[in-house]
Copies of this chain bind each other. A is one copy, B any other.
Amino acid sequence: MDRIKRNERLGAMTHLLIQTPNKIHTFSEFCEMFGSAKSTISEDINMIADSLSRFGLGTVYTISGASGGVIYQPSLSIDKVKETLDNISKTLSDPARILPGGFLYTSDITSDPAICEILGRIFAMRFWQHSPSFVLTMETKGIPLALMTARALNIPLVIARRDSKAYEGSAVKISYISGGEAGHIETMALSRRSVKAGQRALIIDDFAKGGGTLQGMVDMMAEFQSPVVGIGVMISTAVPSEKRCRDVKALFTLDAIDAANAKCVVSPSEEFIHAIE
């Protein structure tokens, strides 16, 4: 391989950093890959850091010491966060999304790879400081969003099921209350292998109305002696304002849905934006 120019290194290094958010890359990894001195790689890293920061595309920083190296943190500028949430809330406020029974159709959004990717980054900005060890979600609709949040934080995703499965081994199974005021009992199962005592859980789901499923996940974590360090949902309904689960951080609020008048109002959460500003 002939001598590698700076411009060639910059593309490849940017790729490697961005593909592995929140993962530490050692300087020796890059020195070996490009056959360059540490001082050269260090200059390259500074250039990439300046470039991404200037365009609000995330932060590259260096951790010194024996276990040190370079990390890419996929944060976004606050303007980009606002613009993203504004655009998605407009899409979600389309009256064509109103379903019989006053439900909101969101499945196309909750499984859109690009939308989940950027919302995962935004959740990561809010919760990374609480050092979660894994992301927990309950099947099915929240999985894409939870996966992208886990990816942005470089931690595993754990999926709770409605029932235990032979191919997931022994499981803990609990009952929880779901639905409206009266509520009904549902079950949730989680493979014993999936979480170790003391690991820190970040709960992510797509939608909260009563908050019962979220509280079910909190109760499940108590069974595993795993502290819950954050709870994030994509959309929370304004009504009921009292949820079965506390401290839920929502990206959007479903303020109103009215089939008779073909009116649907979804707005970005000011509180969420303020918290990451």
Contacts and interface: CB of A to CB of B under 8 A. Distances in A.
Given A104-B167, A114-B20, A151-B114, A33 B10 contact: no
Interface in A127-168: 139-141, 143-144, 147-148, 150-151, 154, 156-159, 161, 166-168
Q: Tell me the number of copies of this protein.
A: 2
A6 interface: yes
A25 interface: no
Contacts of A9: 51
The main secondary structure of chain A at its interface with chain B is helix
Contacts of A139: 139-140
Interface residues of A, number: 62
A242 interface: no
Interface stretch (A11-19, A63-71, A262-270): A11-19
Given A14-B14, A114-B20, A151-B117, A8 B50 contact: yes
A151 B113 contact: yes
Interface in A51-99: 51-52, 54-55, 57-58, 99
A51 to B, nearest CB: 3
A172 to B, nearest CB: 14
Given A15-B57, A99-B167, 16 more contacts: A7-B47, A10-B10, A11-B51, A11-B52, A12-B52, A12-B57, A99-B169, A100-B166, A105-B167, A108-B193, A108-B194, A112-B157, A113-B147, A144-B144, A144-B157, A147-B147
